[in-house]
Amino acid sequence: MFSPFSTAFWRNSLNSYQNLDSSRRESQLGSIHEDAEEHVLFDKDSESFRNFASPKDIISHTWGERLAERLPLWQNLQPAAPKSLACCPPCFKSGLGLILTTCSGIMFAIASLFVKLSNTTIPAFEIIFFRLIIQTMLVLPAAVWARADLLGEKKHRPFLVLFGTVNFASISCIYGSFTRLPLGDATVCISTTPIFTALLAYVFLKESWHIFDAAATFICLGGVVLITRPTFLFGSSNSETSHLIGYAVALSGAVVQSLTFVMVRRVGGSVSFYTNVFYFGWCSALLSGITMFMFQKPVIPDCGEARWFLIGVALCGVLGSFCLNRGLQLEKAAPAALMRNVDILLAFLFDYAFFGQQPSLLTLLGGLLVVLSTAGVALAKWWRSRDTL
């Protein structure tokens, strides 16, 4: 005699059940499918039977299979899988993408404001050093959670080190321009990045470069000329020497930043986003720490506003990068580029509100030309790519 709680008891019961009259079983379960196929006997010596862990598993498996065969509606009664973002309406995803790209422009504008405010007491390379240290600390948990390979494949590591070095040169030029120029002027010069990206992609990646791209490039350069107002065109210049150096540094930052974009496109999806950010962080932190001690005198930030400015630079930079990358995944490049240019408007507003600097008419006209040319390049690229979608 087997115990009713033993596996052997349930095996014998199931074998006895197989010997019942077929018509009796039909009357018990209901004749849903009158032309149903003949029943499949349950083999107690099968591997699947021996692998059951408990009588509960045997019952649920046997009756579940039989009911699934006899009642097609059984599967329709199962709970539906949760809907992901891909199931959302296109208008919702598009709206969310525009919101995220707009937020990225706001975050980058606030970060540039914090850079300029903190530079009154803290050197530029020290700002970069703390910014990259905090950024790396914030990105590491997300990278570990995503199980990203932070070091990357061995064949990609020299490229990743070069990528981090070029990014350090880019962020050094960008932050250096913020410390020497009004925020609006520096932001407009840096916003020429899409123009240089299209040109460098044509040179290094053999991508197409149409007549419209060339026209937009000349319009963009015309806007830069109106902002910088060189002496050989405008005669006596009202700009100081430090401002002229700042304009050169800002444009250099735009060119180098374009080179980083081309490098990312060159390697494609073979390197994780977290890996790129990790190499950008530690390479830039290392190089900024070296240059900080070589060319500048580092200071210990006080416990007041300076430390909060440094934290604000890092947080706004990381949030801006996240919003921009996620927004570009949900929205097309052309509308996203238009909303991303909100940082130019905010930069001019910050100049007037915090530093009392009112832009001239030529500066505003030059900024408008830069915005129109960069947005035009994005729109033209989107228009040409419609046939390939």
Q: Give the amino acid at 39.
A: H
pLDDT digit string, tens, across residues 100-130: 888 988 999 999 999 999 887 888 899 999 9
- pLDDT tens, 175-186? 999 998 999 999
| pLDDT tens for each residue of 232-279 | 566 655 556 768 889 999 999 999 999 988 888 888 777 887 888 889
Residues 6+ apart with CB under 8 A from 83: none
Q: Which tens digits make up the pLDDT trace of 79-99?
A: 444 444 445 555 555 578 788
pLDDT at 69 over 60: no
Of 316, 293, 330, residue with least CA distance to 115:
316
Q: What is the pLDDT of residue 333?
A: 62
Spell out the residues 6+ positions from residue 219 whose beta carbon is closer than 8 angstroms to its own.
Answer: 369, 372, 373, 376
Q: Are 186 and 347 in contact (CB under 8 A)?
A: yes
Half-sphere exposure of 277 (CA within 13 A, CB side): 23
The pair phi, psi for residue 327, each rounded to 5°, is -65, -40
The residue with tokens 């040109």 is 199
Q: What are the pLDDT digits (tens) for 289-348?
A: 999 999 888 887 777 788 889 889 989 988 988 888 777 667 666 666 677 788 888 999
Do 180 and 219 form a contact (C-beta atoms < 8 A)?
A: no
Mean pLDDT for the chain?
76
State the Cα–Cα distance between residues 377 and 177, nearest whole angstrom. 25
Q: Closest by alpha carbon to 176, among 335, 296, 86, 82?
A: 296
CA distance 280 to 168: 7
CB-count exposure of residue 326 (10 Å: 0-12, 13-18, 19+): middle
* pLDDT value, residue 83: 45
Q: Are 105 and 340 in contact (CB under 8 A)?
A: yes
Closest to 126 in 3D by CA, of 247, 347, 300: 300
pTM to 2 decimals? Answer: 0.71
Q: How confident is the model at residue 133 (pLDDT cuts 50, 70, 90)?
A: very high
Cβ atoms of 333 and 382 within 8 Å: the answer is: yes
pLDDT category of residue 37 using cuts at 50, 70 and 90: very low
Amino acid at 373: S
